[in-house]
């Protein structure tokens, strides 16, 4: 199926921060599912310095009709001043998963 899922990617400073974001987005029915990768190290430039800091990766699944609202809410909840939030639209999604997501998020045609 096409255009049935949006996958948001972001990084957060801790599993606790990720859990706070996920629980809020789930409770508000803006996402259907989340997956957190374990802590790793991110390297980046910040205020003219090279920085390495621990971060976890958070993957959030939602329907395209909820994408704008989920993106905006994630931005507001995010603890970083300049968060990386990326929408990665998959090319295909299995139909049973897509239907479950539509039902949970109350998406109608």
For residue 11, which of 44, 33, 48 has the smallest C-alpha distance?
A: 44
Look up residue 37 and give its two tokens: 């990768």
Element (H, E) at 8: strand 6-12
Q: What is the residue range of 83's domain?
A: 6-104
With a cut of 70, say whether residue 58 has pLDDT above it: yes
What's the pLDDT at 55?
97
How many domains is the chain built from?
A: 1
* Mean pLDDT for all residues in the chain: 93
Give the C-alpha separation, 20 to 44, whole Å. 24
Predicted pLDDT of residue 18: 97
User: What is the percent of the chain with per-residue pLDDT over 70, rounded to a whole number?
Assistant: 96
Q: Is residue 1 part of a domain?
A: no
* DSSP symbol at 73: H
CA angle 70, 26, 11 (to 5 degrees): 60
| Residue-level pLDDT at 2 | 52
pLDDT beyond 90 at 37: yes
In a domain, 42, yes or no: yes
Instruction: Report if residue 50 sits inside a domain.
Output: yes
Question: What is the per-residue pLDDT across 84-98, written as a single tens digit (0 to 9) for each?
Answer: 999 998 878 888 998
Alpha-carbon distance of 63 to 6, in angstroms, equals: 6
pLDDT reported for residue 1 = 52
Residue 59, domain CATH: 3.30.70.120
């Amino acid at each position: 199926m096409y255009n049935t899922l949006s996958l948001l990617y972001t990084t957060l400073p801790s599993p606790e921060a990720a859990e706070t974001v996920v629980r809020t987005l789930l409770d508000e029915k803006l996402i259907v599912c989340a997956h957190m990768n374990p802590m790793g190290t991110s390297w980046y430039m910040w205020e003219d310095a090279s920085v390495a800091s621990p971060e976890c990766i958070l993957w959030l699944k939602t329907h395209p009709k909820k994408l704008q609202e989920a993106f905006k809410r994630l931005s507001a909840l995010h603890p970083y001043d300049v968060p990386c939030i990326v929408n990665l639209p998959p090319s295909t999604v299995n139909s049973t998963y897509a239907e479950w997501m539509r039902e949970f998020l109350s998406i109608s045609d």
